[in-house]
A and B are shown apart, each in its own frame.
Chain A
Amino acid sequence: NAGVTQTPKFQVLKTGQSMTLQCAQDMNHNSMYWYRQDPGMGLRLIYYSASEGTTDKGEVPNGYNVSRLNKREFSLRLESAAPSQTSVYFCASSEAQGYGYTFGSGTRLTVV
């Protein structure tokens, strides 16, 4: 049981480049999320998807877009990367209220 799988694990981008972070879960969860983790700031929600076909902005959505391709997959796209987007990105999914999240292993992104 793979849980939540994120690709790639590491990425270096130049300012202005674009890329898509992939996330897939095999637990039949309805809700999926993208967070970024920065030192001293904890995890901040970028976008989330309550169910297949819906997406909503979180706390820090600027500079990002998302696609809920199907129930399993939720991708995060950076259209024009900036150094401020250097961070560790985590995808997560949730079964239902009160059960918490299952997290992926993260993508460490550096924008130079």
Chain B
Amino acid sequence: AQRVTQPEKLLSVFKGAPVELKCNYSYSGSPELFWYVQYSRQRLQLLLRHISRESIKGFTADLNKGETSFHLKKPFAQEEDSAMYYCALSGLGSARQLTFGSGTQLTVLP
């Protein structure tokens, strides 16, 4: 079975401080991992895909297969980064179903 764990329900940092949102996964094969973001009263949006190794809005995430982690990082948080962040894992099913973590609510304080 596949499982995604986000240990922090709430995370607060000050503007300009570094931020790291933790994500650990359990999966027997080679997973595909994603980060989604949901701003207040908006739909979920794809933030990052691990296979693209891209940086979006200053966020990066590295897949660590040894530690089974996919932590999301940003060196200097901005107030507009305040949102709910979900880590998600896609297995090898034909429909590529995503399993989501429980989410981390990030608040960036002025």
Alpha-carbon gap, A96 to B4, bound state (A)? 21
A53 at the binding interface (Cβ < 8 Å): no
In the bound complex, CA of A94 to CA of B90 (Å): 12
Could you tell me the distance between the alpha carbons of A103 and B47 in the complex, rounded to whole angstroms? 13
Contact with A along B65-109 (1 / 0, CB 8 A): 000000000000000000000101010011111111111000000
In this complex, the interface size class of chain A, counting residues with CB under 8 Å from chain B, is: 20 to 34
CB of B32 within 8 A of chain A? yes
On whether the beta carbons of A48 and B43 are closer than 8 Å, the reply is: no
Q: Which residues in A have their C-beta under 8 angstroms from that of B97?
A: 33, 45, 48, 58
Q: How many residues of B contact A (CB 8 A)?
A: 27
> Taking the nearest CB of chain A, how far is it from the CB of B100, in angstroms?
4
A104 contact set on B, CB distance < 8 A? 43
A17-25, A36-44, A76-84: which lies at the interface: A36-44
**A31 on the B face (CB < 8 A):** yes
Q: Closest CB of chain A to B43's CB: distance in Å?
A: 5
Of A31, A40, A44, A102, the residue contacting B95 (CB under 8 A) is: A31
Q: Is the CB of A42 within 8 A of B44?
A: no
Chain A residues with CB under 8 Å of chain B are 31, 33, 35, 40-45, 48-50, 56, 58, 90, 92, 94, 96-106
Interface pairs (19), CB distance under 8 Å: A31-B95, A31-B96, A33-B97, A33-B98, A40-B102, A41-B102, A42-B86, A42-B103, A43-B86, A45-B97, A48-B97, A49-B95, A56-B95, A58-B97, A90-B43, A99-B49, A100-B34, A101-B98, A104-B43
